[in-house]
Amino acid sequence: MNTKPVRKGEELNHINLKKFLLENDLIADNQSQLQVQQFANGFSNLTYLLTIENKEYVLRRPPFAAPKRGHDMSREYKVISKLNAVFNKTPIAYIYTEDTDIIAAPFYIMSKVEGIILTPREAHKLQITPQEFKTISDTWLNTFVALHTIDYKAAGLENLGRPETYVERQVSNWSKQYLAAATDNVPTAEKVMKWMAKNQPKSFDYTIIHNDFKYDNVVFKDDKWKEIGAILDWEMCTLGDPLMDLGTSLGYWTTSADPDFMKQGLQSPTVMEGNPSRSEIVQQYAVKSGRNIDNLIFYYAYGLFKIAVIAQQIYYRYKHGHTSDPKFAELNKASQLCCKTAWEAIQKNQIDNLF
Is 78 part of a structural domain of the chain?
A: yes
The predicted structure's pLDDT at residue 215: 98
Average pLDDT over residues 249-263: 96
CATH number, domain of 234, equals 3.90.1200.10
Is 272 part of a structural domain of the chain?
A: yes
Residues 318 and 189 both lie in one domain: yes
Supply the pTM of this predicted model: 0.94
Is 95 part of a structural domain of the chain?
A: yes
**pLDDT bucket at 66, cuts 50 / 70 / 90:** low
Residues 214 and 240 both lie in one domain: yes
**pLDDT bucket at 326, cuts 50 / 70 / 90:** confident
Over the stretch 179-231, which tens digit does the pLDDT of each residue have?
999 999 999 999 999 999 999 998 899 999 999 999 999 999 999 999 999 99
Residues 266 and 307 both lie in one domain: yes
The predicted structure's pLDDT at residue 41: 73
- Structural domain ending residue among the three candidates 46, 76, 111: 111
Residues 221 and 262 both lie in one domain: yes
Domain encompassing residue 94: 3-111
**pLDDT bucket at 325, cuts 50 / 70 / 90:** confident
Rg of the chain on CA atoms, in Å: 20
Q: Which residue has the higher pLDDT, 174 or 43?
A: 174
Is 354 part of a structural domain of the chain?
A: no
Residues 229 and 83 both lie in one domain: no
Cα angle 217, 212, 81 (rounded to 5 degrees) comes to: 75
- Structural domain ending residue among the three candidates 111, 145, 168: 111
Q: Which residue has the higher pLDDT, 68 or 280?
A: 280
**pLDDT bucket at 43, cuts 50 / 70 / 90:** low
Contact indicator for 155, 85 with CB cutoff of 8 Å: yes
Average pLDDT, the chain: 95
Residues 130 and 8 both lie in one domain: no
Average pLDDT over residues 115-144: 97
The predicted structure's pLDDT at residue 60: 97
Domain count, the chain: 2
Is 22 part of a structural domain of the chain?
A: yes
Residues 197 and 245 both lie in one domain: yes
Over the stretch 151-168, which tens digit does the pLDDT of each residue have?
999 999 999 999 999 999
Residues 86 and 137 both lie in one domain: no
Residues 126 and 16 both lie in one domain: no
Is 87 part of a structural domain of the chain?
A: yes
The predicted structure's pLDDT at residue 136: 99
- Structural domain ending residue among the three candidates 86, 111, 136: 111
